[in-house]
Structure 1
């Protein structure tokens, strides 16, 4: 596929429109006027390789970034690869792996994720997040309670468990000494680049090759380090 075809798929109007989820502090930080982080750096690099400008559409939740891509306003997004989303968008291989973890009251008897999937247990999650989709798909007994954020709905409603990504949940537990982190992850979130389903399959191959190059060359690691994030790279922790 020529670079002209890649531009047609990813920047049909001459601009790469990237949906950025500011609600995931591992992937993006800052504000809509000045977004920063690994996904912003990746979008800039994709645009540079295509020889086009980039414009950012920033949101506070992954489900909103997903809608921006599926409804046609964005041409690229940075999302966790989940089956419920893969039916509507195309994902690359992951470039970052993020742990999903639980927090519980210090007095709780729960010590592992497996113990939490029990009748009567209520788990707070961020609506439409990767871990919401995963837990909806995999839990057999526990009940999911959705809100603006897993820790927020956990605190507001006095739930049994809060679910979220490791970094902010760890910070939340650190600020609440009456809580305890269950260190064993209940899932590993595969953060990938998403494009419209109408994109040529070769476009995804091109993006995969680019991600492989950026991972091998240290670009992704440096972008994460520069934004203060210490998470696992898809090429290995």
Structure 2
């Protein structure tokens, strides 16, 4: 026969087990409804950057936003829909307007006014790409009249570089693909963005090189629509798990993401 203490202990453990079994799915279901209210996680991506989406030789897509979106959809138990845009600024606008649920992008103060961010996923250096036989060999050669610096329209580079280079001309490009063509037409002399994207561009431009040093860093984080801040603890745990398990390293390797460093907790 059980003692009173044993009966109480047994009942407490049973109750705890029932709460665990019932409460966890309910919480997970609530998080899924919050992050993917339509039942599908809509992930915003743009081609040409391993921080978003690139394709390998076999045509298989990889990328930070692409793969982390897939991992989160699995964790939430929801379907996934990849929504393509030309550039990241368009994705941020779509998230702000509630048309997209998730992406990974540079967590700038300006963007934080439009969307909500998780803890940092990783940091990446910002740099410059010059074509083959360029007379520009170092950063000190850039800020001169007549030098045309290409940037992605609506990007952090477009907002930041005019204050750093007052003599050179900033020339917006609609996309990375368009920027590569602009080099060929002599419309730009160099291109400024994050180094992972610059490495992707240089692979398509024989003789091109990335200048030594950097002009800053981007702190990549998960972006979700405003009003979903209750899900940030889940997103922060998700990021920490991806970092500590090695999954993030594997994603970077598969995407060929170069120029990244480990993020520091902010």
The Cα of 1:211 is off from its aligned counterpart by: 0.2
**Residues 1:162 and 2:191 aligned together:** yes
The Cα of 1:92 is off from its aligned counterpart by: 1.5
**Residues 1:218 and 2:246 aligned together:** yes
Rounded to whole Å, the distance in 2 between the matches of 1:171 and 1:36 is: 13
> Which sections of structure 1, spanning at least 5 residues, go unmatched?
none
- The structure with the largest alpha-carbon Rg is 2
Rounded to whole Å, the distance in 1 between the matches of 2:170 and 2:67 is: 34
Rounded to whole Å, the distance in 2 between the matches of 1:151 and 1:163 is: 12
Contact between 2:119 and 2:221, CA under 8 Å: does it hold in 1? yes
> Which sections of structure 2, spanning at least 5 residues, go unmatched?
1-25
- Within-5 A mapping of 1:19-168: 19-30=44-55, 35-104=61-130, 106=133, 108=135, 111-112=138-139, 116-118=142-144, 120-136=146-162, 139-148=165-174, 149=176, 150-168=179-197
Q: What SS is found at the alignment partner of 1:159? A: coil
Q: Which residue of 2 aligns with 1:206?
A: 234
Q: Which has the higher strand share?
A: 1
C-alpha spacing 1:138/1:82, structure 2 compared with 1 (3 Å): farther
The Cα of 1:227 is off from its aligned counterpart by: 2.9
Q: Which has the higher helix share?
A: 2
TM-score (norm 1): 0.82
Q: Which residue of 1 aligns with 2:28?
A: 3
The Cα of 1:89 is off from its aligned counterpart by: 0.5
C-alpha spacing 1:87/1:115, structure 2 compared with 1 (3 Å): farther
C-alpha spacing 1:65/1:23, structure 2 compared with 1 (3 Å): farther
The Cα of 1:230 is off from its aligned counterpart by: 3.5
Rounded to whole Å, the distance in 2 between the matches of 1:109 and 1:46 is: 43
Rounded to whole Å, the distance in 2 between the matches of 1:14 and 1:173 is: 39
Rounded to whole Å, the distance in 1 between the matches of 2:141 and 2:45 is: 35
Contact between 2:127 and 2:213, CA under 8 Å: does it hold in 1? yes
C-alpha spacing 1:96/1:21, structure 2 compared with 1 (3 Å): farther
The Cα of 1:172 is off from its aligned counterpart by: 4.5
Contact between 1:123 and 1:163, CA under 8 Å: does it hold in 2? yes
Range moving further from structure 2, 126-135 or 164-173:
164-173
TM-score (norm 2): 0.74
